[in-house]
Amino acid sequence: VILDIDHIGIAVPDLKDAVERYGRTLGVEPIHRERVEDQGVEEVLFAVGSSFIQLLGALGADTPVGAFLEKRGPGVHHIAYRVDDVAAAMARLRDEGVRLIDETPRRGSRDTLIAFAHPKDMGGVLVELVQVP
């Protein structure tokens, strides 16, 4: 069951600059910062209602966000849906013929369990499933 939009991930070339710009222009405060080595990112979250805007800096060129920035430039990188059961949501996508990037759930930021579905099967949008502990 999808509960909410968990976050919208935005790839930025300069995290410090983007955090300052988002904070100033939207009048929002960053509420969380975390380095997720496994995913090759450093994230900063801004709370917007019950969801987050996630600014993503790449930890290197050979990471998903690094490659995205190189190929497509800054912009929306993925949309993450908050689900009650990530394994069940993955099974549903799989049954519907959607290619999953992760065979089993992985650990995301905030101790979440996450899994990605391929953008080519989701209207050109990289989709993340997020189960909050």
For the chain, what is the total number of helices (H) and then of strands (E)? Answer: 3, 8
Q: Does 49 sit near ligand MC0 (CB under 6 A)?
A: no
> For residue 40, is it left (φ>0), alpha (ψ between -120 and 50) or beta?
left
Tell me if 128 sits within 8 A of 116, measured CB to CB.
yes
Each residue 19-48 as x (binds ligand MC0 by CB under 6 A) or -, in order, gives -----------------x--x-x-x-----
Each residue 66-105 as x (binds ligand MC0 by CB under 6 A) or -, in order, gives -xx--xx----xx-x--------------------x----
Residues found in the chain:
133
Tell me the closest approach of the beta carbon of residue 129 to ligand MC0, in angstroms. Answer: 10
Element (H, E) at 87: helix 86-95
Residue type, 113: L
128 is catalytic: yes
Q: Which residues bind ligand MC0 (CB under 6 A)?
A: 9, 36, 39, 41, 43, 64-65, 67-68, 71-72, 77-78, 80, 101, 108-109, 112, 114, 116, 119, 124-126, 128
